Structure 1
Amino acid sequence: MQQQHTSLGEQIGNLPDESRRKRRVRFHQGWWRAFVLAETAGPHPLRPGDTVCSMLNNGESSEKNFFGPGTIEAVRETLDEHKNQAGGMIDERRLFNNMLSSQPLLFNFFGPLRKNLPLATHLVQALIPSIDEVTAIRFEYAPEQWIDNSAFDVKLEVTAQGQRGLIGLESKFTEPFSPTIYDTAQYEEIATRCGAFNVPYQAFMTPALNQLFRNQLIAEHEIEQKNVDFRMTGLFCEPGDASAIATGQAFGALLKDGASSFHIITFARFIEALQMLPLTWPQREWSMMLWARYCGQALSAGAYAAGQAG
């Protein structure tokens, strides 16, 4: 019997026509799915009948979108918490199956830290030296009865010099900042009262700044409600995303204390700081998996070059 051979491109799967950077990142996720996870390409989320290389099949049961010690436990605990939480949105199908979504990415980076707060403390201290301790990590966090569905992608509850604080991060992988502009009287009232900004409220009513602005307002609300004594915010993003980094830098400059309170942390910076710590072997393996899946495009470079040549 003649053996049928599947081409490299067929194994990796369909690639949409999109920006060069996003296409390259998506290809790497497709390569990971095919050759690390040994899974076939899953259904396109918007086009019935089509598949796309960066989607899994039945990730809810395989849980293959996640790795790292304690990560899947953090996922399950967060889903249980959100059953009774109005704010924050978790699309479970996207969470378990979309390899290009920033939500599973956040669980892979921060899930093991949620289960090991001493390690989280050492890592955050390496990134933000003023922090004394990380006391909790929560995903898709919004205050009770918040204005809309905005939420911190990840919230670190921290202490510094005897005070309670938070670090609220917005995460980006390949997706742009939301083009939807939220302009409400409640937002303007919080922005005016808090006095945190160098520019008027209307300056933030642009697609580039509005999402980070709403993230900031959640932090300012937590200060107003005396839930914390200080707040920090920031952007957690792919190191090659020059546009997101520039947006984060522009937003931080509009905060009166942005130089000390707004932090841009790239995946590479996180991994570098993590790998400098005295890790157990499972933790070090997790750090290497983070690099390989989210930064190590050199691993799939040959396959990508072959696909482009074809």
Structure 2
Amino acid sequence: MSTAALGRVPFIPEAILRAHHVHEPADDRFRAAARTRQALLREAKGWPIGLWATDTDKARELGSFLAPEHGDANFITPEIAKLARREVAWREDDALIDTERLYRNMLSSMPACFNLIGPLALDPRLATAVLRRLAPDFVKKVNATLFEHSPARRHPAFTHDRTAFDTLFKVTTTAGEHGFVAVEVKYTESLNEPPARLRPRYDEVSQESDLFVDPNHPQLRTAPLQQLWRQHLLAYTMVKNGLYTTGRFMVIAPSLNRVAQEAIALYRTHLLPGGIIPFEAISYEQYIEAIRRSGAANIAALLHDRYLDFTAVDALITD
């Protein structure tokens, strides 16, 4: 039996989790397996374990947490580590970038975003090739790649808050239009984060956007859908305000993260067909395969090893 053959990660015995300093009772099935995978990678590479603490707990060793001096190890290449440092230094005003998550938390979607998207930001030709594979009816050329991007945080003409996209690709579309692909990256996250404070502006945009079957539905305003709803609204306002002619909103999440995939499937049920901002859901497997088929087999292999290869975890169970 293996994760690759069965299409699901194993339940890991508590004794194994404790042995690798990754016993976290709040973890769901996928998060526990992914945390173990990252701990095993850290151990295999000889990277020192980091100390993790909450507001209520004292610092303790956590197998999926890196020591401060090894933060660059959270990225699959030195070039991506350098890119991350540059983006942190020149981030947009009021951008939410948690440097501890970025450099030390091996489970966070923040370093995952740089690992997945960074190679495209560093190579515009690769970016165009990959986006053409993911959205062949929409993307002709990628012109720029932005991280933790919002057109105008807290501006009343948009969503009047700090909502942003993990990445935004500025593109020329197949129809020759000035467009974008806005991307949200998830890794082990369940989309059950605490919801943002509801604002009157959300209701206004939701009702006028013609994106939703019922723009006032309570499910859109609570976890696990509220973040996707707010980001979709932001994407709509970018077209409404004339920044772009057209756009798409895309979520990238592992297929094995079933909690996230169920949330994405639920979100789809709230969408009207033919909306002005189409919604796309891409798995890590699809995304990494698009990178491989675009000629960056080495990058694809590094990403597969980091995020999709559970062989070492399977071995803990079978051995």
**With structure 2 as the length reference, what TM-score do the two structures score?**
0.84
Deviations 1:250-302 (CA, angstroms, capped at 9, x unpaired): 323423326982111111111112112233xxxx2221110011000013321
CA distance in 2, matches of 1:101, 1:117: 25
The DSSP-based 3-state class of the residue aligned with 2:64 is coil
The DSSP-based 3-state class of the residue aligned with 1:43 is strand
Q: Does structure 2 conserve the Cα–Cα contact (< 8 Å) formed by 1:12 and 1:41? A: no
Tell me which residue corresponds to 2:201: 186
The DSSP-based 3-state class of the residue aligned with 2:67 is coil
Tell me which residue corresponds to 1:158: 171
Tell me which residue corresponds to 2:289: 272
| Structure 1 residue 148 displacement after superposition | 2.1
Tell me which residue corresponds to 1:139: 147
| Structure 1 residue 215 displacement after superposition | 0.8
Query: Which residue identity is paired with 2:152?
Result: E
Tell me which residue corresponds to 1:201: 216
Structure 1 residue runs of 5 or longer lacking an equivalent are 1-7
| Structure 1 residue 9 displacement after superposition | 7.4
Deviations 1:97-134 (CA, angstroms, capped at 9, x unpaired): 00000000010011111011111111111111021111
Q: Does structure 1 conserve the Cα–Cα contact (< 8 Å) formed by 2:235 and 2:277? A: no
**With structure 1 as the length reference, what TM-score do the two structures score?**
0.87
Tell me which residue corresponds to 1:40: 48
Question: Could you tell which deviates more after superposition, 93-102 or 236-245?
Answer: 236-245
Q: Does structure 1 conserve the Cα–Cα contact (< 8 Å) formed by 2:140 and 2:172? A: yes
Q: Does structure 1 conserve the Cα–Cα contact (< 8 Å) formed by 2:17 and 2:23? A: no
| Structure 1 residue 214 displacement after superposition | 0.6
Tell me which residue corresponds to 1:90: 97
Change (3 A) 1:21 1:232: same
CA distance in 2, matches of 1:71, 1:229: 31
CA distance in 2, matches of 1:159, 1:198: 30
Percent of aligned pairs with the same residue?
24
Change (3 A) 1:258 1:291: farther
Q: Does structure 1 conserve the Cα–Cα contact (< 8 Å) formed by 2:109 and 2:187? A: yes
CA distance in 1, matches of 2:53, 2:299: 29
Tell me which residue corresponds to 2:9: none
Question: Could you tell which deviates more after superposition, 191-200 or 116-125?
Answer: 191-200
Tell me which residue corresponds to 2:182: 168
Higher relative contact order (CA 8 A, sep 6+): 2
Deviations 1:19-55 (CA, angstroms, capped at 9, x unpaired): 22211110001001110x3112211232323111100
Change (3 A) 1:9 1:236: closer
The DSSP-based 3-state class of the residue aligned with 1:199 is coil
CA distance in 2, matches of 1:139, 1:290: 19
The DSSP-based 3-state class of the residue aligned with 2:73 is coil
The DSSP-based 3-state class of the residue aligned with 2:231 is helix
RMSD over aligned Cα atoms: 2.3
Tell me which residue corresponds to 1:4: none
CA distance in 2, matches of 1:9, 1:234: 33
| Structure 1 residue 93 displacement after superposition | 1.3
Tell me which residue corresponds to 1:25: 34
Query: Which residue identity is paired with 1:143?
Result: P
CA distance in 1, matches of 2:134, 2:106: 26
Query: Which residue identity is paired with 1:278?
Result: G
Change (3 A) 1:62 1:39: same
The DSSP-based 3-state class of the residue aligned with 2:65 is coil
TM superposition outliers: structure 1 runs of 4+ over 6 Å? 8-11
| Structure 1 residue 191 displacement after superposition | 1.7
Q: Does structure 2 conserve the Cα–Cα contact (< 8 Å) formed by 1:292 and 1:299? A: no
Q: Does structure 2 conserve the Cα–Cα contact (< 8 Å) formed by 1:15 and 1:26? A: no
Tell me which residue corresponds to 1:102: 109
Question: Could you tell which deviates more after superposition, 112-121 or 169-178?
Answer: 169-178
Deviations 1:61-115 (CA, angstroms, capped at 9, x unpaired): 5511012373123212211222x512x3101111100000000001001111101
Tell me which residue corresponds to 1:63: 72
CA distance in 2, matches of 1:21, 1:9: 13
Tell me which residue corresponds to 1:78: 87
The DSSP-based 3-state class of the residue aligned with 1:13 is coil
| Structure 1 residue 196 displacement after superposition | 2.2
Q: Does structure 2 conserve the Cα–Cα contact (< 8 Å) formed by 1:171 and 1:235? A: yes
